[in-house]
Structure 1
């Protein structure tokens, strides 16, 4: 993790440098600065120039400062949307389209959390975290998990109503995740990023913070799905 005491020097170092000219280390540092929600607007350093040639966007300037806030609403929204877009492209190309029911329900061990077909739909197990070892999970459980936390987050943002894990039924595939993504895109494009959300923490959090968690949680779950896929493929190779 980047030492906060080095941030002003690093930001000055990055000032007015096209992104493609930065070293791999500096790109990693820059990613850490964005993740930390830092921005230049409150600092006595020049604005950061970022060049995205691949996307055809040319050169743009992003305000980043040290007060923990991100005051330029367009920059905050763009950052969150583009982070999500990267992971969603990965999900569509390498993950979601390769899952069938057999793979989804494959159990990597005898100690697993999975889903079970009932009359009212697919019901998910919930891990007993007080009695180790923690169970492994099936891909079906991970798909259910993404559907649940994303639907729960959307509900909390729109009307403040949480959705309990036991109340969410898995769609039986990947369609539920695609629907949640569409709903979240609409919400993220139009909702005030500073709106407080009664969320998973004791105190309400601004939407931009919740949206950054969505990006991290989706990344984590997609990685877990791919790990289970690789484990099964290697067992049958």
Structure 2
């Protein structure tokens, strides 16, 4: 598909996702966990397959000594490489927003037993694939997927992306609600979409602002490389601001 078609499809999905926010996630929320679990098992399995098929020696990269050797060898390219490394841990900042939806122990168990091992296998598998196919660096993930499961994997990836987007939207609502409670944000209407769960809310004003911004970013950057660079920069800024704000509280409280 051309870039314009991809952008149109992405914008259509975004409009549909934001337009349905007022219904809440109470009725379809039970699908999110199985979808995300299936996604992690898929990328972990594909990674393990690529490690076995192409180059199992990439497992040596788990040794921290190779990080030191790489940094010594890279020299002037270190900061560019670290920018790519930051993209591999994006999303971790959203864990703090999820604390109002899940207990700490549940997040720790899910990350330790499912997320972290599957991500390690996925990234290591891509490294093994790139060693053999050096000209496929730009689109290594999808090219490394076996042909027999390519389209099922594509569908699962799309659904997982929608779930991740929903998680980000819900986290934004939660942060705004907390800011309202502290008197740090202008007053806006907060609608509770569930009779069972207090954390499931909908904020109309924030919803439409987010939709406009997401469409602007998608239509403006157009490709994943430019969006990835902007996303990495944003994540670094968020982590720095969070750290600078948390350190005084940790020292004083």
Structure 2 length-normalised TM: 0.30
Select the structure that is richer in helix.
2
Larger relative contact order (Cα-Cα within 8 Å, sequence gap ≥ 6): 2
Select the structure that is richer in strand.
1
